[in-house]
Amino acid sequence: LVNSNKVNEKYQKPEEFLNKTISYGTAGFRTKAVYLDWVMYRMGLLACLRSICQKCQYIGCMITASHNPEEDNGCKLVDPLGDMLEESWEAYASRLVNSNNLQETLKSLCENELKEWIEEYDREQEVNKLGRIQKPNIVAAYDTRPSSVALFEAFKTGVEVLDGVLINYGLLSTPQLHYMVRCLNTNNSYGEPNEDGYFNKLTTAFFNVWSMIEFNNNGKYETDLYVDGANGIGADKIKILSRLISTVSFNDKPSNGTILNMHLFNDGKQPGDKLNHLCGADFVKVQQKPPNNLPELKDEGKISKFCSLDGDADRIVYYYLDNEKKFYLLDGDKISTIIATHLRELLVGAELSDKINLCIVQTAYANGSSTNFIENVMKVKASCVPTGVKHLHHEAQKFDIGVYFEANGHGTILLSEKAESIIEERYAELMKKSEQLDEGIEFKDWIKNDKVRYSLYILKHLKDCINQTVGDALSDLLVVELILAMRQMSIADWNLLYTDLPSRQLKVTIKDRNVIKTYDAERRVSQPAELQDKLDELVKLSGSKMARSFVRPSGTEDVVRVYAEADTQELTDKLAKQVCQLVY
């Protein structure tokens, strides 16, 4: 392998990068797309090495820059079970990309850190010479950015250098690609590794729950949902989902006559539409206002339910305007609290709450009111970890059910093997019993008439509606809608779960953002030494008992981020500004 002299120089590192280092950060490599082709080429090599070191299982490559501007792009690798690239490999990625002698670095990696695996691979190749030769297996997909296809070509060239076999899925959302990787490596037990399989899994689970819901005229659940597609890949995928949801006949399941109607806007197909520009989940969350092109709704006086996806459809936030056009945001914290509240009730209902524990994982950006609600009202454990999905994901894996969401709307729910098997076993018993139902008793009534049966049934199908590999706006949307429908809750009711403290996010550009070091899940600064004391002083003098503020170097932009919250927006904004001046 190491001696394959094919390393091709087409995608040479440009001169201006010879003295620069870039790192595989929270979301992989991400920058202006014009600087990326040589990076993608090298990531093709790395993806092959990763596959070889995982017994030639499939490794994924997603080409996207998520919520960042259309001119940006990026690349992240996906590990065999559909989760993010293992941390030790982030360092290899950075080494390979920053090397000024690619051949040498590749050789050094293969002969040192990866030696054992490479030798095993070479041995297998020798043994299998006459039979089927195992090759590195890679799958890739990209979002709708104009630069994505050329970057895919660069990645492909890299994969070919190391004789990898590459499946190109074309246009997918990030969570869809994660799903494909998991399916491919688990013999399809997670689902079929194609787009039909993905939608089939989600919609089947959705209908299994939906068909149990009794809709009545007094219920406050809004069946219309207005979806901001961020002018990106999420818009294309919402179209498919919405068509399936509204046209699928409920097969043998009797329809309850009610349909979830999704209305898409910012679909990226109108003149002037630009990815993430004045729209999408990040814009709505950071600006705390609705996106452009909010549909004009005729029904005055009626509150409408909106949500926004981000550019690669792994984030979602909800919002509505009241009759005075005041804007209310239901962010990742509101999503995780409603999901966890409902799951806990189901666990109690299914008599499983002593066997299956539940935890909510947040970051420093979680609104103080949400943490207070989780700990003091729900009386559930709230864990706080540093920003970045991988940290939340790892923490959530420590529990039987880990619900994790970043305030920005990225999140999902993880079930441990133990939780999965308890639910599956009990559900199988339930199905067995249902085969012996007396004549005249409908399955649906039999389920509904008993709290334990009902809770177990819903738990099982709600869990199947979750994309457990990574946050997925489409799956999260369906789960939230099911929960709101089951609770007959309007978006305004949901918002009343607790009241957010006003908050503000700002950014400051300084010479070297990495002089700031944090600890305690980024909530406190350790360096520069005097910064935390001064920050504490500002918080103390802010005039608000609830005030809280922190600063952290961004993992994706060359800036320092500042966050503040307090009793009133005015005090919050003042505090945020003062902290910015402190950092500057």
Residues serving a catalytic function are 66
Identify what 408 binds: Zn ion, ligand 16G, none; CB under 5 to 8 Å per kind.
ligand 16G
Restricted to residues 48-67, the positions that interact with ligand 16G (CB under 6 A) are: 66
557 binds ligand 16G, rule: CB under 6 A:
yes
Among 349, 561, 564, 579, binds ligand 16G (CB under 6 A): 561
548 binds ligand 16G, rule: CB under 6 A:
no
Of 60 and 164, the one with the shorter C-beta distance to ligand 16G is 60
To ligand 16G, the closest distance from the beta carbon of 74 in angstroms equals: 9
| Dihedral sign from CA coordinates of 533, 534, 538, 539 | negative
Tokens of 479: 């789960």
To ligand 16G, the closest distance from the beta carbon of 325 in angstroms equals: 29
To ligand 16G, the closest distance from the beta carbon of 252 in angstroms equals: 39
How many angstroms separate the CA atoms of 168 and 106, rounded? 25
Query: What would the x/- binding string for ligand 16G be over residues 382 to 411, using CB under 6 A?
Result: -----xxx----------------x-x-x-
How many angstroms separate the CA atoms of 546 and 197, rounded? 47
513 binds ligand 16G, rule: CB under 6 A:
no
How many angstroms separate the CA atoms of 55 and 273, rounded? 44
- Direct distance between the N- and C-terminal alpha carbons of the chain, in angstroms, rounded to an integer: 50
Restricted to residues 552-581, the positions that interact with Zn ion (CB under 5 A) are: none
Tokens of 139: 């799958």
To ligand 16G, the closest distance from the beta carbon of 362 in angstroms equals: 12
Restricted to residues 403-462, the positions that interact with ligand 16G (CB under 6 A) are: 406, 408, 410
Reference 60, options 188, 202, 189, 164; nearest CA is 164
Buried b (16+ CB within 10 A) or exposed e, 334-367: bbbbbbbbbbbebbebbebeeebbbbbbbbbbbb
Of 393 and 426, the one with the shorter C-beta distance to ligand 16G is 393
Identify what 554 binds: ligand 16G, Zn ion, none; CB under 5 to 8 Å per kind.
ligand 16G
66 binds Zn ion, rule: CB under 5 A:
yes
To ligand 16G, the closest distance from the beta carbon of 389 in angstroms equals: 4
314 binds Zn ion, rule: CB under 5 A:
yes
26 binds ligand 16G, rule: CB under 6 A:
yes
To ligand 16G, the closest distance from the beta carbon of 551 in angstroms equals: 11
What is the CB-side half-sphere exposure of residue 160 using CA atoms within 13 A? 8
Are the beta carbons of 50 and 58 closer than 8 angstroms? Answer: no
Among 312, 331, 406, 522, binds Zn ion (CB under 5 A): 312
Q: Which amino acid is at 84?
A: M
Reference 198, options 478, 421, 417; nearest CA is 478
Of 463 and 561, the one with the shorter C-beta distance to Zn ion is 561
310 binds Zn ion, rule: CB under 5 A:
yes
Residues 6+ apart with CB under 8 A from 571: 502, 542, 543, 544, 547
86 binds ligand 16G, rule: CB under 6 A:
no
Identify what 500 binds: ligand 16G, Zn ion, none; CB under 5 to 8 Å per kind.
none
SS3 at position 297: coil
SS3 at position 577: helix
Q: Which amino acid is at 97?
A: V
Are the beta carbons of 367 and 501 closer than 8 angstroms? Answer: yes
Tokens of 226: 């207005």
Give the interface with ligand 16G as residue ranges (CB under 6 A). Answer: 26-27, 66, 387-389, 406, 408, 410, 554-557, 561
* Interface residue list for Zn ion (CB under 5 A): 66, 310, 312, 314
